[in-house]
Amino acid sequence: MISLKFRRYLVIAICLLCTAACYVFYKWMDFDANPIRHYLAYDYYFGSPLMSSSYSQVNVSSSVHTATEASSPSPQTVFSLGGKPVLVLFSARFDFQLGLIVLVGYFNNRLSKQPPRVTCRLSSLKSSTNLDARPWQQAVGYSMHEGHYMPYDGVLYFCPVVPTESSYLVEVNGVDVSNRASGKIKLPVHVAESSKPADKVAACITALRYLPSEESENQFIMRLVEFIEVNRLLGVEHFYFYNMSLPSKISAVMKHYIGIGWITVTPWSLAEGIDLDKDIHYYGQMVILNDCLYSARDRYRLLTFIDIDEMLVPTNSKGEAINLVKAAQLHSLDDRGGNCALGFRHGVFPPSPKQEKSGEIKMPTSLIGCKIKEIGIHFVWNSWQSCQTKQLSPSSEGLLHHYRHWAAGEMIEDQSMKWLQRDIETALIGARDRLKHLFGIDLCA
């Protein structure tokens, strides 16, 4: 017989174990008070990232900054503690919809539980100007989600200053929340060439990193070219890439697409003293995606966030693949309320000609929507205004095609891409011939 005292201790132990398990699950899911975030937890989003249909009237001269210019963003450590960076800022981008400068970076959550305090003001390359006498403005800090309990989390700062014709620099003063350290840096402010974005689609792609142990350079180039060419047929006007490590042969192909205006490539690296694999999740993916969000949203009304083995394929009532812009119109995707995002289910297509059917993953997946404040890896974390996501039927309205090996259960048949087969063949043959002519790269070898 088990004594009453022992049973009491056993019940208490079970309760403690259950409490600990719930806590671990809670932290792993990163729950907060907004239940919609969890319903969309595996969604890709496609839509308009505008705050509203009206545009801020800001007196600022036009300045185009591309990833190939000397003014490309680069990580700058604001201050450190014990030889470890506490706050690093990657870019400063003026946002026409908000009428302020958005600072994108990351901070050490082990040394600072909250984003460090930041003030900012306009500045100049010159050591002494009237601008440097302007008062400091308090920036609002916003810690990004999905840090996965690694030492560094992404951070956004919203700095209430407007660049003028005489200066495209912002001076940033960062202070540790416990007043243990501080520092100042100056960042170039990137300003879009127009305050009104085009009614077109841009794609943001996370860090490109070539691993020779996984594939040859030609295989990587084939995947990259297919990704660009086919997504262009599906309606993507421009691609934003972040380059971690690409050899010269692949870089030459990227420069070709830069030259014809299809892509922007931003160099991506972490600040000195930060371990690429141990200190920040997936090479700083959240920082990259949100930097791209604030880089592209003043240029393009519709944005999508995908990887180079993914394609968003919306369809019409006949099951035929259609243009993404047409899909946005078909499903009333706008920036005036209503639908601000289209959700696509996630279909895995094994990259083998012997397997023609797709294994559909049961969890929902999608693209990005309007009024977005923070984009996540598979969903929208926060928006500037209330908005809805329309989930599309995978059998009749669209599917995200993910070309990779994945153990899937139920198999479905998706023939939407066959309507683009001739166009795809023409585009890829043309790209193959161009690369062979320009660089001597034989993708058929």
Whether the pLDDT of residue 370 is over 60: the answer is no
Q: What is the pTM of this model?
A: 0.81
Question: Are 237 and 302 part of one and the same domain?
Answer: yes
Q: Is residue 355 part of a domain?
A: no
Choose one of 191, 218, 249: the last residue of a domain: 191
Question: Are 424 and 298 part of one and the same domain?
Answer: yes
- Structural domain that includes position 298: 198-349+364-385+398-439
The pLDDT of residue 25 = 39
What CATH number is attached to the domain comprising 142?
Answer: 2.60.40.10
Give mean pLDDT, residues 223-246. 95
Question: Are 242 and 288 part of one and the same domain?
Answer: yes
- Around Cβ 392, how many Cβ atoms within 10 Å? 24
Give mean pLDDT, residues 347-365. 56
The pLDDT of residue 445 = 67
- In the predicted model, what is the mean pLDDT of the chain? 79
Choose one of 191, 218, 245: the last residue of a domain: 191
Q: Is residue 314 part of a domain?
A: yes
What span, in angstroms and rounded, lies between the C-alpha atoms of 235 and 230?
Answer: 9
Question: Are 369 and 249 part of one and the same domain?
Answer: yes
Q: Strand pairing partners for 391?
A: 343
Give mean pLDDT, residues 88-108. 95
Question: Are 103 and 168 part of one and the same domain?
Answer: yes
Question: Are 220 and 320 part of one and the same domain?
Answer: yes
How many Å is the Cα radius of gyration of the chain? 24
Question: Are 83 and 143 part of one and the same domain?
Answer: yes
- Around Cβ 300, how many Cβ atoms within 10 Å? 22
Q: Is residue 219 part of a domain?
A: yes
DSSP assignments along 269-307, one per residue:
-PPTT--TTTTBGGGTHHHHHHHHHHHHTTTEEEEEE--
* Maximal CA-CA distance, the chain: 86
Q: Could you tell me which of 231, 420, 232 has the C-alpha nearest to residue 316? A: 420
Domain count along the chain: 2
Whether the pLDDT of residue 260 is over 50: the answer is yes
The pLDDT of residue 149 = 93
Question: Are 262 and 171 part of one and the same domain?
Answer: no
Question: Are 371 and 245 part of one and the same domain?
Answer: yes
What span, in angstroms and rounded, lies between the C-alpha atoms of 235 and 94?
Answer: 27
Give mean pLDDT, residues 264-273. 94
Question: Are 100 and 126 part of one and the same domain?
Answer: yes
> Where is average pLDDT lowest: 9-13, 31-35, 137-141, 210-214?
31-35
